[in-house]
Structure 1
Amino acid sequence: MTTQERKAVGHRLRQQRNRLGLTREQFAELADIGAGYYGQLEVGTSQMSVDTLIKLSRTSRLSMEYILLGDVPQEQDLTPLQAMLARCTPRELHLAEKVLQLFLLRGDI
């Protein structure tokens, strides 16, 4: 992987981390990797293993293909809500369903 490609990977990770409202330290902790190492990935000075890529994909809710290549996921035909739900774990889906049920039960909306 070239330096430019590593920087592009880091840029995509940083954008998503910012969308999630997390600091580098918080994101690294959630991904179970060192904060310093994660910082190096964001600036493109380090490469990652497949294990790290999997952790970053799960934590960022981005496909591995998008992280590495910048290819738009096939979710492009989905609404933003459908795309978010498609990336949820079963536990997260259950919690999202409960929140939505509570939201829809409110009669003042």
Structure 2
Amino acid sequence: MNSFYNEAGSRIRSLREINRFTRERFAEIADISPKFLYEIETGQKGFSADTLYRIAKALSVSCEYILTGDEQGDCSEEALTALKLFNNPQIGTVSQILKLIYELNTKCNK
């Protein structure tokens, strides 16, 4: 399609793999077909704002990161490296713990 969609698709695939989702499982979470997810990841197809939002939410990243690759914080690479230390069954638990920490931090800062 074009380099914009190639790069966005590549970021989506990379994040999906870091999170150890199969294409089929992630497509189910994002409510799209596995074939469409493949086409997005390979830059063959574009996507709507709604699809982008669902993918970003499922990957716990911003839409901006998927579109541009711009990091939200300085520790993103460090956090990804730390996540790679965990095995597949542990990732879900780590993710839940991090989300709880984020929610508590958000509530405390209001």
TM-score w.r.t. the length of structure 1 is: 0.69
Answer yes or no: is 1:45 the counterpart of 2:44: yes
Equivalenced residues, count: 87
Deviations 1:69-105 (Å, cap 9, x if unpaired)?
A: 11111x2258739xx9xxx78xx518xx9xxxxxxxx
Larger of the two Rg values belongs to structure: 1
TM-score w.r.t. the length of structure 2 is: 0.68
> Which runs of 5 or more structure 2 residues have no equivalent in the other structure?
84-94, 105-110
> Which runs of 5 or more structure 1 residues have no equivalent in the other structure?
98-109
Structure 1 partner of 2:108: none
| Runs of 4+ deviating beyond 6 Å | none
1:1-109 map, 5 Å: 3-73=2-72, 75-76=73-74, 80=79, 92-93=99-100
The letter for the 1-side match of 2:55 is L
Q: CA RMSD in A?
A: 2.8
Higher relative contact order (CA 8 A, sep 6+): 2
- Identical counterparts, % of pairs: 33
- Partner Cα separation in structure 2 for residue 77 and residue 58 of structure 1: 19
